[in-house]
Every structure is written in structure tokens, then in C-alpha cells.
Structure 1
Amino acid sequence: MPALPSLINMMTQLIASPSISCSQAHWDQSNKGVIELLETWLSSQGFQCEVMSLPGQPNKFNLIATIGQGPGGLVLSGHTDTVPYDEGRWQSDPFTLQERDQKLYGLGSCDMKGFFAIVLDTIREMSLCELTEPLIILATADEESSMAGARALVQQNKLNARYALIGEPTSLTPIYAHKGIMMERIKVTGQAGHSSNPALGNNALDAMHNVMSELMTFRNELKRDYQDANFIIDYPTMNFGCIHGGDNPNRICGRCELEFDLRALPGMSNQSLMAEIALRLPGIEEKTGTQIQLNSLFPDVPSFYTPIESAIIKACETLTERPAETVAFATEGPFLNQMGMETLVLGPGSIDQAHQPNEFMALDQIQPMQKVIRGLIERFCLQSNESN
């Protein structure tokens, strides 16, 4: 069997292959180079690799690499894309792995190309020919923008395993739940006119004031009616992120747009929340004589929850000697759960470094993560079915 490159060498090559995903077309890139590296390395270790382009996006790819057979098994999952970078704010080239002060710097070092290098370095020492259940390495596209890679897997129903770990940076803390997220836009269309006479137009900003007042009322109702003490912010949140309207002080504003997000607790339905907001808008339309449109900026991400009693969560609590917690950021976890896997999020590096200039992974995160990976493979892929 061909030897794999060293962990540092693999991480160097992965980071050197740009794979930014972004809603802005001038930033958006293919992840093909990263997928090809992973396919080459995993194939050399005996994995059967399937590379799939995303529907309607021929330059974006998912990779499913499988070794072993059986009805159960374990998925080790990560995304291959990164966010854009702040040019001029990095102390070194974002695409060149650099070690200094016991840290590995580079775009994607912790979020989350480094995870793949750690997985590969771990399995090179394991007896994968003795697997009693399959081990699957999953690499997805576009997690940082649309989560189109994970959504495509749900539609294609390609994965069949019992347990899954997503190696997002959690500082090695097991995560069993996170809130969902919706990003929405409300557009109010009135009628522009000369500001000297209000009757010459219909002010969209005035109508938007009513819209925002109604949304704030709804926000307070959500805070009153829904709590989950397992979260630091234990209620659903709604944030008014940006507003645009009008063009001059002496013109009646003809159009105004508000963009906001809503983060729901596990057990709440994004679709029901959207429907509730939509129900509140026609009355404002009628009252103000404007047109009001509600639409999503991006497809929503459901909330994520795996019961704390799940075998994989209990195993990771034992391996890390840390109780499972919740986080505020979104992951691909709900999509893996939709495919029937008991999923948790646990990985090396801190979310505080993700999406930041000079992103890094501390070297002291690597060996503990390898202990977790080794322990999960032994527990769910190398032991007998009865012990699962």
C-alpha cells in the first residue's frame, strides 16, 4: 500500500489548493483540487471513492470514500471549502501553511481542511482490513455559503451509516445541538414623489417602520414563549442586519428593504416561523397602501439535535472527558441527521479562529483529536455488531 504524505505535508497541500465558496461570484471557486487530493490519498489506503458534482454546479464536488461493509458504521465528515480572506490582514500567505509559536497558520487550517489531514494520518496506523462495519470519509462542498453539498446528499440519499462525526472546530468539545438559521429579506414598495407634499407619494420607509414594529413584537413573543436552558442564549433570536431605502432627503422614499436573520431553537420549525411572519404582513400592506414582499436570501438551515443518550455522544464524552454542549453556529449536522445518522460535532481548533485573519490550529489539538478518531473507529467499526 503506498505511503501517505506526512500530516504536515497533507495539510500543506490542502491549504495550498484554494477552495473559497461565497455568495459573491468574484470570490467563489471550485473545490476540485481539494477533492482530487483526498481521493488520491484515500484510494491509496483501500477506500472506494465516489466523486459527485453538485446538481447545476459542475465545478463543485462531494466525495464519499468507503472502506468495509455492514449495516452500521461511522462517517467522519468535513467540508472542503473555506470563507474568503482579508487581503493585507494576514501576517503570511493564507495559502501557505506556516508553523510558528506551536500553531499551524493557513486558510482552512482549523475550518476545516486540517481535520482531513488528521483523519488520514490517524487511519494510516490502523488495521482497516479488519473492519466489521464500514468507515466512510465524507467531504462536502459549499458549507460556508449555501450548504449545497449536504443538501444534495439528502436529495440523493447516498449515505447509509449509523453514526457520524463532523470535525468542525469545537476545541475538542462534543456538540449535540445548535440553533437553526434563516436569512430573510422584506421589500416594501411605495411611491416616490416630491417631499414638499406627502400626498404626491407613498413613503416606503414609513411602512417599513410598521413592519419593523411588528417584527419586534413577534421577536418578543418568541423570547417569551420559547426557552432552552441548554443554550447560553436560551431563546430564539432575530437580528435586523441591514436596511436600505430611498435616495435623497427631499424625495419620498419609494422603496425600502430590510434584511434580518432568525435563529430558532431545536424543535422549532423554520417553515412555521416564516409562515407566521408572512401572515403579519398583509395587514400592514392594507394599512399603508404599499406592496410588501418576503423572501429568503438563502435556503434555511434547520436546527440540529441528537439525543444526549446517543452512543456516539457518550463515546465522545468518554474519549474527551468533557460533557456534550451546544453552540450558536450552524453546521451540516441537521442534514446528516435527516439521512438517519446519529450525529455530533467535534473537532480540533477553536471557532474563535475560524473566519479570522491568521486562522490557525494549535499543535496541541492534533493528538487528542487522533485519540477521538481512533477510539470511534475501534468502537463503531472494529468491534462486533452486538457491541454497537
Structure 2
Amino acid sequence: MTGGGRLAEAKALLRRLIAIDSVSDASNLPVVDFVEAYLRSLGLEARRAPNAAGDKAAILATIGPRFDGGVVLSGHTDVVPVEGQPWSSPPFALREESGRLFGRGACDMKGFAACVLAMVPAFRDAGLKRPVHIVLSYDEETTCLGSRDVIGWFGKDEPLPAAVIVGEPTMMAVADAHKSVATFRTLVTGREAHSAMPALGANAVAVAADIVSEIGDLARAYEEGPLDSRFTPPYSTLHVGMIRGGTARNILARECVFEWEFRGLPGVSSASAMAKVQAFVDAVATPRLTRFVSGPAIATIMEVDVPPLAPAPGSAAERLALRLTRSNQTIAVSFATESGHFQAAGLPTIVCGPGSIDQAHKPDEFVDEAQLAACLEFLQRLADDLAR
């Protein structure tokens, strides 16, 4: 197939993938079914790793000999919601305009998946000496846990790869580092009373506001360091994104809950951020909450903990990706990916994929057609490399 024919195939596959609504709170099985049927039509089988509920699954397809030393091409099937976003056209229908392909997931990251699938016939027919492993996961946009079962197969009942390429949007630059992300939910439970008689109760909203203010102070402290100029921003960040509580203006609030996140530079642990907040809760917030009555409490749970991707200069993944992109330098990105889980399993990993993260999660999300073409060239060089 010529380069133009392969690009046309990638665009056709992207159209089909975007048409499948795979927002994270819904099942991704329609995407899995489509991918499996496509692979089967090319004489290939995929292995599923279902979640506990059975309504989602990651898949693994291996092309080439079942030897160690191959390369993983990893992406996710889920996308973020579109509700409330002012799209110019239906978000789950591909729209082409001025060399851009619009639709939910076009950039993050069904564009990469479409390119990989379009390359399957070339991988199959290339006479690979080392295999390509295609991994498509679920829940990357919520927990980043959907790839972990498949990762656990490598080196056990599946061949051990030499390198992993996660195709999140980097404009086809090679990213060797990204921040961690951890999300938390803090519940402040107070006691209701008339607002004219504060000594009869405990105001959960007021104490939650104290903790949120402390998180803001800690966020500003992180701006002072540690710093890493490769990232934008060059420091770890703390952020409170949601808060709700109370029933009326003149009632001391019985309950207030807020949700917050920490994005840490490699080497700055999520546990350390939670410990700083907890220290304030123990020393200041809880005594304030229980000043007049006993029983009120504050509880924080960590809902998501995605590890960072730490730089590994000279790793097999870095050397391969730089050779395939014909580049001599790497970048760092501030968003989190599944790469940290691959790296934590001992697999050399980088991030490199089509499109810009600036377009992700927005209305009128798009990927440039030229970026898909560049990704296909990258994957063809990978096929050539693995066939040597």
C-alpha cells in the first residue's frame, strides 16, 4: 500500500473509531469488538483482559514471532465527555476541514490507534524478526489502571518487550518524562445547628474552606521548588477542582466534600503532598471542627495514583524512538499517561504520538492530517527496523 493509501486507510479507521462513543463512564467493548473484527479480517487474533465487572476490556495483539525483544505500541480506547462543550459539529462524527480531522478522540488518542491499525498489514507482511505488540486499554482518562493486567502478562505468558511506545499526543516528539497525578477526595463531616448558635454544632463548610486555603498555600510553596525547567510549569502542582456542601445559608453545614489533585515532578511523591495536607488536618482543621462538639471528623482517600515517567537517558526505548523520529533530543510533558505503569514494570518506555495535547479534552478536538502521515512514516520505519 502506498503512503497515500495508508493515510486514507488511517482516516477511514479514525472515522469508525470516533463514531463509537467510548466515554470513560461507558463500556469500551464496542471499540474492542470493532478492533478484534478488524484484526481477524487480517488473520490476527487479540487477547482480552476484562475488568472485574466485565463491561470493559484491554486487548493485546502480537504481530510477528513470539520472541522477547519486541516493541509495544500502546494507546487507550476511552475518551473524555463532551457534555456542555460548544462543538461546531457532532463530536462523534469525523469532520474534515483544511487538513484537520475533528472529533472526540481524534487527538487523544484514537488518531494514534487508527495509524497503528492501518499499519497492521505492513507489520504482518514485513517479515518481522522481533514482534510488535499492540495494546489498547480502557479507563486511562479516569484511573490509568486499564492497562495493568496486560502489562503483567509481559515476561510471563507473553514475550518480554525491549521497548514501549505510548502514543499520546506529542507532535511526534519523543517524551522521556512526565509528571505523576494523584487525585484525592476529602470529606468533612460536621454537625448541623442554627447559624446563630455556632457553639452547638460544627460547620463542615468553614473547616473545608480552611483546608482548601491550606492547599492553596502549599501549591504556592511548590512553585518555589523543586524546579525542573523541562516541564511547563516547571514545578509540582496542587489544585482543588470541585467542592460542595451545606443545605441552607442559616444552617451550620453537616457535610462538605472537595476533590483535589497533585501533579508531581518525577522524584516528588504524591504521598508527600498528601502528608502535608494531612498534617494541617491533624494539627489545625480537626481541632477547629471539634472545638465545641465531639464526633465530627475529616477523612481523605486517594482515588487515583498514576506514577510519573522518569527520564532514563540512553534506554532502549529512547534510542529507538529518536532513531525513528530522526531526532537527537527529547522533551518532557506535564500530563500523565500509562507510561509510568510500563516503566514501573521494568519496561523501557517513552511517549510519542500524533497531535498536540493543546487540542485534547476541548470542544472541536482535532488532529492534523499531516501528523497522522508523520506517525505512519514513524511506524513504517519501526517495521523496517524490526525486520532487520
User: Structure 1-normalised TM-score?
Assistant: 0.87
Partner of residue 28, structure 2: 31
Change (3 A) 1:319 1:154: closer
1:7 and 2:3 are equivalent in the alignment: no
2:204 & 2:122 partners in 1: Cα distance?
65
Structural mapping, 1:87-166, within 5 Å: 89-126=86-123, 128=125, 130-154=127-151, 160-166=160-166
Kept in 1, the 8 Å contact 2:17–2:110? The answer is: yes
Q: Which of 49, 55, 74 pairs up with 1:59?
A: 55
User: Is contact 1:154–1:338 with CA below 8 Å preserved after alignment?
Assistant: no
Which residue identity does 1:358 align to in structure 2?
D
Does the 8 Å CA contact 1:191/1:252 hold for their aligned counterparts?
yes
Moved more, 207-216 or 346-355: 207-216
Tell me if the contact between 2:140 and 2:146 (Cα under 8 Å) persists in the aligned partners.
Answer: yes
Match of 1:344 among 346, 350, 373: 350
Partner Cα separation in structure 2 for residue 87 and residue 237 of structure 1: 26
1:184–1:44: structure 2 CA closer, same or farther, 3 Å change rule?
A: same
Moved over 6 A (4+): none
Q: Is the 2:218–2:238 contact (alpha carbons within 8 Å) kept by the matching residues of 1?
A: no
Partner of 1:371: 377
SS of structure 2 residue aligned to 1:142: coil
Contact 1:86 1:357 in 2 (8 A): no
Of the structure 1 ranges 35-44 and 131-140, higher mean CA displacement relative to structure 2 is found in 35-44
Letter in 2 for 1:98: R
CA distance in 1, matches of 2:152, 2:304: 14
> Which among 265, 272, 295 is matched to residue 301 of structure 2?
295
Deviations 1:119-148 (A, max 9, x none): 232343356452211111111112122223
CA offsets 1:12-54 (integer angstroms, 9 cap, x no match) = 2222222111xxxxxx322122112222232344444212211
Deviation at 1:279, TM superposition (A): 3.8
User: SS at 2:304's partner residue?
Assistant: coil
Aligned residues: 372
When structure 1 is superposed on structure 2, of 349-358 and 39-48 the one drifting more is 39-48
The 10-residue stretch of structure 1 (359-368 or 175-184) with the greater mean CA deviation from structure 2: 359-368
TM-score (norm 2): 0.87
What is residue 307 of structure 1 aligned with on the other side? 312
Matched, 1:240 2:240: yes
- Report the Cα offset of residue 161 of structure 1: 0.9
Q: Which runs of 5+ in 1 are unaligned?
A: 22-27, 384-388
Kindly indicate whether the alpha-carbon contact (under 8 Å) linking 2:219 and 2:239 is maintained by their aligned counterparts in 1.
Answer: no
Q: 1:138 & 1:97 partners in 2: Cα distance?
A: 24
Which residue type is aligned with residue 35 of structure 1?
A: V
2:53 & 2:312 partners in 1: Cα distance? 35
**Counterparts of 1:251 and 1:13, CA distance in 2:** 53
**Secondary structure at 2:261 match in 1:** strand
User: 1:333 is matched by which residue type in structure 2?
Assistant: S
